[in-house]
Structure 1
Amino acid sequence: MKYGVGLFPTEPLPKMIRLAKLSEKLGFSHIWIGDSHLIWREAYVNMAAAALNTSKVKIGTGVTNPLTRHPSVVASAYATLEELAPRRFIVGIGLGDSSVETMGMKPARLDFFEKTIKQMRALLAGEEVELESGKIHLKHPCKNKIPIYVAASGPKMLELSGRIADGIIVLVGVADEYLRQAKEKIEAGAKAAGRKLSDINLVLWVPCAVSDKAPAKDAVKAHVARVVAHPLPYVLDPKEQKVLEEIRRTYDYYHHMDQEANHAEVIPDWLVDKFAIAGTVSECRARVKELKKSGINQIAIIPYSAKGEDREDTLRGFAKAIR
């Protein structure tokens, strides 16, 4: 099992660099940088800074999209980053969430998304791509293959990811039944493409707060609210459905993943346990022990801070939990 860290650039770049350095020091293998240009600092600047201040950790977007970032822009950015730190970068990409919603846009359609992934791969490989306006190519393609990981939660997106992705960032919660149903959809997509589930790296995306001093569940509720509101590969029970309706009524994309967001108040403690890792070091250790049985290749935590603490405290606490 590998362990990654999802870092949303909500703070100035020097602080983000400190978090990246600490993540590597604590033994995390991957850093995923959020990309939502109106509410967070610039993702690709953060990725370059993280690469320059670490030596071996893998770095990816967590995640970008093909709407605010044209495939040619993503390809050029990654080709350039690859020159800085070869074989350390991963494209993490999804349909678009807060990055497009804050622009008044809608997430990409599945057929459009699949086409853009093909274009991106071709451009990175130095191949020509046909657009409506004509043919284009990248003058500085990658010497090494850059893996493309697709963020997925809904049944159709999970199946598509199983067909086309090198890895999948799984956004469905942490309950055993949720993960089982997600893997079934991924495997169906993989089989349709003549692949096996074992060919695909599965990254479980998990909001996390670890503290032995303060209640941790409140810290992750804003993130849980967004996961619950995603399309999911399973049917919510009546209690969960009621919470979902309230989230959709109150969700504010300008406070996306913001611990202080009003929509965080909608999430009850019992729902947190299905969608996050939150609690003391020993409680988190027990949760990770269970998740190791799920067939996931990497747990990527998005660290949040319990009251009076910092994201660094959760990183250190989680590192203790996995020892």
Structure 2
Amino acid sequence: MTTGEIRLAIDAMGGDKGASMVIPGLAVALLRCPNLVFELFGDRAALEAEVAKHPTLKDRVTIHHTDVSVPMDAKPSQALRMGRRVSSMWQALESVKSGTSAATVSAGNTGALMAMAKFCLRGMPGVDRPALAAIWPTIRGESIVLDVGASIGHDTDNLVAHALLGAAMSRAVFGIDKPKVGLLNVGEEEVKGLEEVREAGAILRAGTFPHMRYEGFVEGDDIGKGAVDVVVAEGFSGNIALKTAEGTARQLAEYLRMSIGRTLRARIGYVLAKPAFARLRDKMDPRKINGAVFLGLNGLVIKSHGGTDEYGFASAVELAHDMVRNDLQARITSDLAALTESKELANAG
């Protein structure tokens, strides 16, 4: 476990509101994690004005000026052309590559961040395609779901590697010694699903993985049940599952709002049940689980939702803090090396 100061690189111009959301978020995160130090990348005048509003940040930030920020609607290829080496997003990633910072946090354009991170940091040995991992609220607590959209079209080896990545993140973030891992499929039977998923399942069943326990195939409704600690999905299906869950949550909230105000009896019932509704709202608050992680790169990159507020951004910063403190990258490196060794032994045999 890493102790002492943890230095994070912050793309301070990312997100819908830029520095006016990012800087207050850092102040909130610093209250919860006092050992944080920040390297800020963005417009110096805007950053200095925001930092001045939060005295606790005065001695905890270093500002690096750049005039360029990546637009939220920029295409990845466009962002690479215009923002490579000069944008706040790229420079934050370079801070991790150089070893100055332990992780990057950005609320900027997701596609641009993925493209720049892959180009700047490169993939770890054994990882052909990095994965975007999200923390998912469940009936039993929280699970990790990956890939939720970093790339489309994973092959068998990608799915097996992502199982190890997700298990390593579960160990680092949730402290689970041997996380339960499942592959998202259209059914639990071994004969169902895409060939790549079936083949990955066979490898995970037959292999020896000391830091995870493979549970087999899981279906979409198993995610919310918390049937496993880690759900491994192909990027296309994982992204659809994530967006469907977000949309369903908003739909149910709107149904509830409409029902509460429909009759006097309903309004009275709401008053009586207000504490229960408050607990539900707290449980479903997306700001508490804000922050998805690009796994499989030679450096930690955390993507905050662009439309979040300072409390949501603070959650993404705290996630970065926890993963650095619990040596996520070292865990992943060890697990991938073991996977490579097992493949070499199998081929030699």
* TM-score normalised to structure 2 length: 0.29
**Bigger Rg over Cα:** 2
* TM-score normalised to structure 1 length: 0.31
